[in-house]
Structure 1
Amino acid sequence: MLSLSAPPVFIPVSWADNVDRRSYAVSAGSLGVALTRFATQSGVSLSVSPALVNGRSSAGLSGSYSVEEGFAQLLQGSGLRLQSTGADAYTVVPVTEDASTLEIAPTTISSGHVADDGVPYAGGQVARRNSQGLLGSRDFMDTPFSMTTYTSQTVKNLQARTLNDLVASDPSVRATNPAGGRFEQFTIRGLSLFNSDVSYNGLYGVLPTYSIDMEMADRVDILKGPSQLINGISPRGSVGGGINVVPKRAGDKPLTEFTGSYASDSQVGGAVDIARRFGEGDQFGMRFNAVKQSGDTTWDHQSVNREMAVLGLDFRGERLRLSTDLGHTQRDTDAPQERVLIGADAKVPDAKDVHRNYAQAWTKARTEDTFGTVNGEYDLSDSLMAYAAFGARESNHDFLRHNVPVSNDAGDFSVLPRDFTRDESVRTAMAGLRNWFTTGPVSHELNLSASYFYMDFTNGGARYAASPSNLYNPVAIPTPGTPTRPDAEVYTQNRFTGVALADTLGFFDDRVLLTLGARWQRVEVDDWRNGAKGLTGYDEEKLSPSGGVVFKLSEQLSLYASYMEGLSQGKIAPSTSRNSDDIFAPFISRQIEVGAKYDLGTFGLTASAFRIQQPAYETNAVTRVFGPNGKRENKGIELSVFGEPLEGVRLLGGVMFIDSELTGTVGGIADGNRAPATPEYNVSLGAEWDVPALQGLTLTTRGIHSSSQFLDQANSKKIDGWERFDLGARYAFKVSDKDVTVRASVENVLDDRYWVSAGASDDSEPGLSLSTPRTYLVSATVGF
C-alpha cells in the first residue's frame, strides 16, 4: 500500500493486479465533464482548476478500472496527470514526467489529515463538494441552488465552540437567541431554523436539541431555501434553509491532537482529536473527539460547563461502506440569558444602558443528550447503489427560568419563575437506491428514497410567585420555593413519513443538468394534556414537486434556476401565549430561485435571487393568543465570495438584501408592512493575510452587520442596525517535530452593546437578544 506521507514515487499505470477495480462507462466529450462524472461514479473527491481542462477533450472509457487507472485513461493525451491530495481525494496537474506514469504525491494538508469533506476550495475555508441528501454529493458548480460548505479548518480557525459561532460568517444566516442563552436558534433568508432542524449526516432530530458543539463537525453544509425534496420534512418545519453537520472520519494518516482553550471571563477547556486506520488495507477507521470546557462567561454570575464525546467508526470495502457515530453531550448553564419581551406600553430599551445580566443567579439550564447513527452503502452493481441510515437520540432537559417582559419605559418587569422539564426520544431512518445510466446521449442519475421520523416528548413543570425587577438595575430575588401552580403535563408524538423520486438528466456532455423530482410526505401529530387527548393533532399528506436546471456556459461559469416546495409541520404556540403548546396545521412553502456561479480556480463568486412564500404567525398583542395572521413573501438577492484571490490573502463572506412583505393580514391592517425580525440587508466579510515576513503567521479580521428590524407586524417598534468587528491572529510552527498552532482572537472588539435580533421572524418566541460583550479567545493545538 502506498503511504501518502512518503516521498513522491512513480507507479506504472499498469500496476498490481490486486488493485480494486469496477466497471465504468464514461462517454467521450469535454475532459472536465468526463473527470467529474468518473469521480462521482467512483465516490472520490476531485478538485480541478477550470483553466487546466478548459478546451480539452477526453475519449472516455468503458470497462473495468481502478480509480487511478480510470483517471489515467481519461487524461491520456491531455498533458495532465492525476495527483493525490489525501484520502480518496485528487487533483489534476500538468505532466512534468513521462506521461505513462502516475505520481502519488504527499498531502500538503496541515497535520497530514484530510477530512471527508472533499477537496477544500482554494484557501481551505469552504469545500467544493457538499452533501445534498437525496441527490448525493455534488460539486457546487453542478447544483441548482445556493449552498455553502464550511470545512473543519474554518471551525478551528474561528475557534467556534458551537454552531452559533460558525454561522456568523454567512450573511444569509443570523442567530436570534442570546449567545449565553438556553438554546440556539437561527434565521436563513429571514425565516426561522431551530437547532432541532439541523441534520446529522442527513438525518434529522439526532443532534442535541439546544446547542451543537462544533468539535464533532468535519464539515457544515448550509443550504439556502426549502430543502424538503433533498432531506424531507424537518421536525420543526424550517423552510428558509437547512444545515447539515457531517461527522469526522479517520484519514489515511494517524492523527493525535490536543487543543487547550481559554475564553473570557474564565472559561478553560481541553479537547482531543484521535484518528487511526487499521486492518487489511486500512479498511477500518476510528475517530474520537472529546471536549470539556467550564468557567465564567463575560456576563454577571453566568457560567457554562460543557462536555462532549463522539466516537466515529467506519469500514470501507470493495463494495460495502459502513459507518457509525456514537455521541454524548452535556451542558450546564447558570444564569442563561433570555430574550427581552417588550410590552404594548413600553418603548424599545436602549441596549447601551444594559450592562448587567438581567437573568437571576439561580436560573439554570441543564441539558443531556445521547445519540447515535448507523450509515451504509452497498454497490449492487457498477451502476446501482443501495444506501440506508438509522439514527436515535435520548435527551433530558431541566430548566429553572423566567421571562423578561418589560412593561414600561423605565425597564421594569416581573420575574415569574418557571420550572420546566422536557424529555425527548427520537428514532429516524432512511433508505434508498441511486442508479447511473444513459439513454442515448442523455445521462441519468436516478434517486429513490424513503424516510421515517418519530419523536415523542413530554413537557412539564411548575410556576412560582412573581417578584419585581428591572432591566437596567436587576434586583436579586431569593431562589423560588413552593410552586404556586403546576403546569399541565403535555405529551406529544410526531411521525413523518415520505417517499421521494428524483432524476438528474445530463444533456450535451452534461453541460445542461436538469433535476426533476417530487416527495410525498405525511405528517401525523398527536398530543395529550394530563392524560387527555388534545384537540390540535392532525394527519395530513401532500405530494410536493421540485425541479432545477444548471447550464454550464463554460468550465468557469454556471447559471441555474430552481423551484422548491414542501409541506412543513405546523407552528407550536409559545409559553408566552395564552394558548401555550397548541399545535397548528401543516403549511406549504414555495421558493423560486435563479443564480450564477463563477469559479476562477482560486476565487469563487456566487449570486442568487429568490422568492419564498409561506403563512405568517404572531401572538396578538391584546389577546396574547398565538396563531396565523396573513402571509409573508421574502424576496432577496445574495452575493457571496470565497477563496484566495491573491496568494496568502483569503476572503469569506458576502451580502444579502431582502424585502419581506406581509399580505392578507386580519382586516388588512398590516398589509404591505415588513415582516418582524427581518433586516433589509446583512453583511458578513472575513479576511486572512499570511504575513510574508514571518512564515506561519496569519492575521485575521471579520466584520458583521445587520440593518434595523421591526418587532411586530404593525411595524410600530424597531431595533437599530448594528455592527460587530473581530480581530485575530494565528501562528503555526514546529516544536521537536510536533505541529503547533496558536490562535488568539477578540470578538466584538469595540465592546458595543446592541440588540442582535428582534426575535424569530416567523415563529413562536418574539423578543430582543442582547449582544455578547467583548470576548477574548485563545487556543493552542499540538499534533503528536
Structure 2
Amino acid sequence: MPAVMPCSTRLTPSRLRPLLHLSLLLSLSACPLFITAGWAADADKRSYQVPAGSLSAALTRFAGLAGVNLSVDPALVSGRNSPGLSGDFAVEEGFARLLQGSGLQLQPVGEQAYILTPAPEGGSLQLAPTSILGATGGSDGEVYAGGQVARKGSQGLLGSKDFMETPFSMTTYTSEAVKNQQARTLGDLVASDPSVRATNPAGGRYEQFTIRGLSLFNSDVSYNGLYGVLPTYTIDMEMADRVDIIKGPSQLINGISPRGSVGGGINVVPKRASDKPITSFTGSYASNNQLGGAVDIGRRFGEDDKFGIRFNGVKQSGDTEWDHQSVDRDMAVLGLDFRGERLRLSTDVGHTERDTDAPQERVIVGANAQVPHASEVRSNYAQPWSKARTKDTFGTVSGEFDVSDSVMLYGGVGARKSNHDFLRHAVSITNDAGDFSVQPRDFTRDENVRTGNFGVRNWFHTGPVSHEINLAASYFYMDFENGGARYASAPSNLYNPVETPTPNNPTRQDSKVYTENRSTGVALSDTLGFFDDRVLLTLGARWQRVKVDDWTDNVKGNTAYDEEKVSPSGGILFKATDKLSLYANYMEGLSQGKIAPSTSVNEDEIFPPFITRSVEVGAKYDAGPFAVTAAVFRIKQPAYETNANTRVFGPNGKRENTGVEVSMFGEPLDGFRLLGGVMYIDSELKKTTDGLFDGNRAPATPKYNVNLGAEYDVRSVQGLTLTSRAIYSSSQYLDQSNVKEIDAWTRMDVGARYAFKVDEKNVTLRGNIENVANKRYWSSAGASDDSEPGLTLSTPRTYLLSATVDF
C-alpha cells in the first residue's frame, strides 16, 4: 500500500520534478488563455458529450469543457482507452466515468486543479495543495522544464497546440525568459533563437529580423493573432506574456502578412490577470547611463473572479554605449478580460513612445569600395542632430463563444495609429578609406491600421476518425503617407566621423506618397485524427486577395495591383511513441510585393505579390526534463536586389533556401538548464538575369547560426543562478555576385541572478553583460530579400542591471 503523505508535508523539488516535467496540462477551455471558472463547481451538473476513444483525448476534451486543470504523467494514459460519456455530470463524476476500468483515479490538489494517479489497492494518496506549482492562473499554460519555454503556442487558425502535437516547427518563449534575459525589445529576446537574426543595429531607428534567412519586419509581428497592431519600428517586451516563433511560411494558419514575410512568423501574446494578485516593480540600469522603472499590476474581481485587469507601464531614458546617442522610451498597456461560462472577452489598449538621438544606420558599401573594417569603427558615425521619434497607439478586442460543447465562435478586431518623424542620413561609403556624404533627410510617416479575423471551430467524430474543422475570414487595411525634405550634403568618414551643421534650409521637398494596402482571406482546414489521434492529418487552403493603390502628390500611380490566389497547405504528425513525434508539412502562400527602398533610384516603387512554397520534415523528442527538435526544410521564392551600379531595386531570379535546424530546451540535469540550437542553410540563386549569378549563394545568409544558452543554480547559495550565452554566425556575402563578404562572428554573454525574500516579499536581482569581450564586427549584411541592404555593426559591451520586487 502506498504511504499516506500528510497534507502539511511539502514535496521537495527533486521529488516533484518528474511529475512536473513529464506532465501534460489539460486545461483546454475553448481558449487556453482563459480558465472558465463558472464550469468548475462540482455541485453543478451540466451536459457533456465526449466520444469514446483514447483516454488522453477524452481527458483533454473533458478538462477543456469543464474549465479545470488536470496534470497527467503521459506514461499513465499511454495505450489506454475511455468509454466516453454523454449526459449531465459534475466534474469529478465525469472524470470517474471516463476513468472507469482504467486503474487510475483523480486527486484534487487545489481549486479547480487535479492530478491523475494510479488507483491504490487500499487507502488514498494525499498531496499538498502546493504540489502543482503554477498549474492555475497565468496565460503561459504549462511551462516546460526549465521555465524558459512553454509547451503550447498560438497557431492562428488552428488554435493553441502543444509543440508535440503540431506539424510545424515552433518555439514559445515565456515571460520568465523575457525577464531573466532583461529583454527590453523583441530584438533582445530573439537573440536566443538560432533560426532568427537581427539585421538592424540595436541602436537604430527600427528593428528587423530574418527567420530561416528571410526577412521579417515588425509590421509582420502579430499581437494575439492580429497583424499590424503592434508598433511599426520597435516592440517593447514588457507587454508580452509569451512570444511564439513559428519557423517556415505560415500563410495557412496566420494569413498574408502586411510586408510579405515568409521565413516564419512571430506572435506576441498579451498579459492577463492571473488568479493570484500581481504587484511588481522593476528598477533597471543599462550602460552607459540608462535608468528605468517598470510596474506590473494584475487583479481579478467580481463573482468567481470573472473580471480581470492587468497594467504594465515602463519609463526608461538615458545615454547608450554609443557616443552622443540616447534613448527615451515610454510604454503603457492595459489589458481587461472577462471569463464567463460560455463567453470569454478581452481587450488591450496600449501607447508607446520612443525618442532616439543619433540612431545608427546600416552601412551601405558602394560599388568601388571594399568591405570596411568593423574593428576600426570606434565612434558613432551617426550625426548628433539625427533623431527618430515614434508614437504608436493601438487597441484590440477579442472574444470566444461556445455555441455548444463542440462548436466555438471566435474573433478579434484591432487598430493602430502611428506618427513617425525622422531626421536621418544614409551612410554609403564610396571608397576604401570609408568616406561618405552626409545627406540629411527629414522623413515623416503616418500610419493607420484596421484589422480583424473571425472564425468557427467544430470538433466531432466520423466513426473512429476525429475532426477539428476551422473556418476563418481575415481582413487587413493600412494606409500610410510618407513625406519630408532634403538638405545640403557634407563629407564625413566611417572611421573618423565629422560633425556637420544641423540642417535647417531644405534644398528640396520630397513628394508626398500616400498608399493603401488591403488584404482579405478565407481559410478552411480540417485536422483528422486516426488511431486514437496518434496520426494527425491537417489539410487546408486559404484564398487570399491583395490590393494596393498609391498616389504621389495626389496623382494616382501606375504601380497599383489587385491579385488573388488559393493556396493549399497541409501537414501530418505521427506520434511514434509518447516521447517521439514525426511530422511533415507543405505550405504555400501569396505575399505582398516588395517596396523599393530610399537608397534606390526607384524609391517607393511597389512590386507585385509573389508566391512562396515550402516543404519541411522533422522530429520532436520530449524526454521530460528536456526536449530536442529537428527539421529539414526547403523554401523557394523570388530574389530581389538593388543593382550596385544602377541603384535600381527589383527582382532578379529565384532563391532556394535548403536547411537543417536542431533545437534543444529544458533542464537535462537538476539545476542546469539549456536553451539553443544550430541552423544550417544552403541558399542558392537560380534563374538570375543572363544566368550571371546562378549557383551563387544568396547574400546576407550565413551557412551556420549557432546559439547556446546555459543556466546553473549554485547549490551552495540558495537562489543564486549563473547564466551564459554564446551566439555564432558564419560569414555572409553582401551581394549576389559573392565578391564582397563579411567575416564570421561570435558573441559571448554572461550573467547572474539572485532571488531571495525580504519581509515576505520576493526580490530578484539580475545582472547581464552582453558582448563581454567587446568585439567589433559586422553582425549582418541585411537580408537577401530585403528592400534596404547594408551592414549592421555589433553592439558594444553592454551592462544590464535590474531589481524586481513582488509585493
TM-score by length of 1: 0.95
Aligned in 2, Cα 1:155/1:549: closer, same or farther, shift over 3 Å? same
AA of the residue aligned to 2:612: S
8 Å contact kept, 2:711–2:721: yes
Partner of 1:667, secondary structure, is: helix
Number of the residue aligned with 2:130: 106
The alignment status of 1:161 with 2:217, answered yes or no, reads no
The alignment status of 1:327 with 2:350, answered yes or no, reads yes
Aligned in 2, Cα 1:39/1:673: closer, same or farther, shift over 3 Å? farther
The alignment status of 1:25 with 2:20, answered yes or no, reads no
Deviations 1:65-110 (A, max 9, x none): 4555544544455565557899977664566897889968237658
Output the CA distance in 2 between the equivalents of 1:711 and 1:118. 42
Number of the residue aligned with 1:282: 305
Deviations 1:423-477 (A, max 9, x none): 0000001111000000011000000000110000000001111100000000011
Match of 1:343 among 366, 384, 388: 366
Number of the residue aligned with 1:50: 74
Matches within 5 A, 1:168-317: 168-317=191-340
Deviations 1:273-326 (A, max 9, x none): 000000000000000000101000000100000000000000000000000000
Match of 1:576 among 591, 599, 603: 599
Q: How many residues align?
A: 773
AA of the residue aligned to 1:699: L
Q: Report the Cα offset of residue 478 of structure 1.
A: 1.1
Output the CA distance in 2 between the equivalents of 1:749 and 1:168. 15
Output the CA distance in 1 between the equivalents of 2:609 and 2:476. 16
Match of 2:389 among 337, 341, 366: 366
Aligned in 2, Cα 1:265/1:93: closer, same or farther, shift over 3 Å? farther
Aligned in 2, Cα 1:7/1:205: closer, same or farther, shift over 3 Å? farther
The alignment status of 1:434 with 2:457, answered yes or no, reads yes
Output the CA distance in 2 between the equivalents of 1:345 and 1:87. 70
TM-score by length of 2: 0.93
Aligned in 2, Cα 1:83/1:156: closer, same or farther, shift over 3 Å? farther
Number of the residue aligned with 1:388: 411
Output the CA distance in 1 between the equivalents of 2:114 and 2:602. 57
8 Å contact kept, 1:87–1:252: no
Match of 1:667 among 690, 705, 717: 690
The alignment status of 1:471 with 2:494, answered yes or no, reads yes
8 Å contact kept, 1:84–1:107: no
The alignment status of 1:737 with 2:747, answered yes or no, reads no
AA of the residue aligned to 1:35: L
Deviations 1:135-182 (A, max 9, x none): 001111110110000000000000000000000110000000000000
Aligned in 2, Cα 1:125/1:184: closer, same or farther, shift over 3 Å? same
The alignment status of 1:684 with 2:707, answered yes or no, reads yes
8 Å contact kept, 1:300–1:356: yes
Q: Report the Cα offset of residue 382 of structure 1.
A: 1.0
Computed over aligned residues only, the root mean square deviation of the Cα atoms, in angstroms, reads 2.2
8 Å contact kept, 1:204–1:428: yes
The alignment status of 1:633 with 2:685, answered yes or no, reads no
Aligned in 2, Cα 1:546/1:45: closer, same or farther, shift over 3 Å? farther
Unaligned runs of 5+ in 1: 1-5
Output the CA distance in 1 between the equivalents of 2:726 and 2:361. 25
Output the CA distance in 2 between the equivalents of 1:540 and 1:561. 29
Kindly, what percent of the aligned residue pairs are identical? 73
Output the CA distance in 1 between the equivalents of 2:167 and 2:282. 39
Matches within 5 A, 1:111-126: 114-126=137-149
The alignment status of 1:454 with 2:470, answered yes or no, reads no
AA of the residue aligned to 2:531: F
The alignment status of 1:612 with 2:623, answered yes or no, reads no
8 Å contact kept, 1:28–1:61: no
Output the CA distance in 2 between the equivalents of 1:84 and 1:311. 34
AA of the residue aligned to 2:295: V
Output the CA distance in 2 between the equivalents of 1:374 and 1:86. 32
Matches within 5 A, 1:701-712: 701-712=724-735
Deviations 1:315-339 (A, max 9, x none): 0000000000000000000000000
AA of the residue aligned to 1:401: R
Match of 1:63 among 87, 91, 98: 87
Matches within 5 A, 1:690-729: 690-729=713-752
8 Å contact kept, 1:47–1:119: no
Match of 2:435 among 408, 412, 417: 412
AA of the residue aligned to 2:487: Y
Aligned in 2, Cα 1:115/1:512: closer, same or farther, shift over 3 Å? same
Output the CA distance in 1 between the equivalents of 2:41 and 2:498. 77
Aligned in 2, Cα 1:674/1:581: closer, same or farther, shift over 3 Å? same
Q: Report the Cα offset of residue 542 of structure 1.
A: 0.3
Question: Larger deviation: 92-101 or 714-723?
Answer: 92-101
Number of the residue aligned with 2:543: 520
Partner of 2:384, secondary structure, is: coil
Aligned in 2, Cα 1:80/1:681: closer, same or farther, shift over 3 Å? farther
Aligned in 2, Cα 1:719/1:542: closer, same or farther, shift over 3 Å? same
AA of the residue aligned to 1:529: T
Number of the residue aligned with 1:3: none
